[in-house]
Amino acid sequence: MFKPYLAILTTIILLLSACQENNANKEGSLARVNDSYLFLESIASDNVGDTSWNKERINAWIIKQVWAQEAEKNQASENIDNLVLDYKQSLMIDAYQQKVIAEANVHITEEMVLNYYKINLERYTLDQDMFKLSYFIIDSLLDVDIVLNKLNNQEANDALDGYCLANPKNCLTAPIWVEKGVLESISIPQYLWNTSVKYRSFYRNDNTVGLFRIESKNKKGEPAPLDLIAADIYAILKFQIEKEIIDKHGEKLLLNAQNNNNLEIY
């Protein structure tokens, strides 16, 4: 006769436990969307004391949960599972392929770059004139004649070195290839765009002086200089070699599977 009362009592205890657990969840959480709760530790960071930042993250979490839960209702779980599996496999394959490449220790030499450049020279024809330029824009605190003389005689130039350290945007010590007039910040007069063995100077409208040297020029229709496209060639060779490594490793995996009777086509 006590069995019905025992069942009722058990049910009440379970309900109370669930309520207590639910209340505990509410007390420790920042937000809830149906049965999903957001806790402080989930968004903890250096900015945790920033209330506005917390609200932004909380709102983002809520929006994501609302979308996710509604999407789950309207999406076949089997399709989602397949997508998740496919994505997981893609990540694992990519990680393993990167490991295989790293173990192969791919090394691109200057000779390889040069050989590729010579073989494919016709692919790298310039569609405009290119100039190899280095420059300095100095102010009145530096003596132009002294700086210029030391530059052209390749002497130690402590004053210029200190200036460039403090004003890196005004100094281009390592020459680069540029199109004519592309560097608006230096604004070299049109008549000065020609090659020179030495650095030259010109006065700018802002009372600074431009010191520059155009080491060489490649005309439109000529092959692009190697140092202009060396980085691109390096990337091409690296991609080709890594692809070859992956292809060969894939063939090896396939052969092993066939030899071990782990592969069948029906």
190-207, pLDDT tens digit by residue? 888 889 999 999 988 888
Rounded Cα–Cα distance for residues 64 and 61 (Å)? 5
Give the mean pLDDT of 239-255. 95
> pLDDT band at 153, cuts 50/70/90?
very high
Whether pLDDT at 183 is above 90: no
Give the model's confidence band at 260: pLDDT under 50 very low, under 70 low, under 90 confident, else very high.
confident
Contact yes or no for 208/139 (Cβ under 8 A): yes
Q: Write the pLDDT tens digit of every residue in 28-67.
A: 678 888 888 888 776 655 454 555 557 888 888 899 999 8
Over the chain, what HEC string results? CCHHHHHHHHHHHHHHHHHHHHHHHHHHEEEEECCEEEEHHHCCCCCCCCHHHHHHHHHHHHHHHHHHHHHHHCCCHHHHHHHHHHHHHHHHHHHHHHHHHHHHCCCCCHHHHHHHHHHCHHHHECCCCEEEEEEEEECCCCCHHHHHHHHHCCCCCHHHHHHHHHCHHHEEEEEEEEECCCCCCCCCCHHHCCCCCCCEEEECCCCCEEEEEEEEEECCCCECCHHHHHHHHHHHHHHHHHHHHHHHHHHHHHHHHHHCCCCCCC
Q: What is the pLDDT of residue 179?
A: 87
Q: What's the pLDDT at 19?
A: 44
Local confidence band at 20 (pLDDT 50, 70, 90 cut-offs): very low
| Top-ranked range on mean pLDDT: pick from 139-143, 148-152, 258-262 | 148-152
Residue 162 confidence class, pLDDT cut points 50, 70, 90:
very high
| Rg for the chain, CA atoms, rounded | 34
Whether pLDDT at 237 is above 80: yes
Q: d(Cα 91, Cα 181) in Å, to the nearest integer?
A: 46
pLDDT of 10 > 60? The answer is: no
Stronger pLDDT, 158 or 186, i.e. the higher one: 158
Nearest one of 190, 196, 189 to 134, comparing CA atoms = 196
Could you tell me if residue 44 is left (phi over 0), alpha (psi between -120 and 50 degrees) or otherwise beta? beta
> Could you tell me which residue, 3 or 136, shows the higher pLDDT?
136
Taking Cα atoms as reference points, which of 69, 67, 43 lies closest to residue 56? 43
Q: Which residue has the higher pLDDT, 218 or 264?
A: 218
Phi, psi of 144 (to 5 degrees): -60, -45
- pTM for this predicted structure: 0.66
Tens digits of per-residue pLDDT, 81-122?
Answer: 888 889 999 999 999 999 999 999 999 999 999 999 999 999
Contacts of 189 (CB under 8 A, 6+ apart): 202
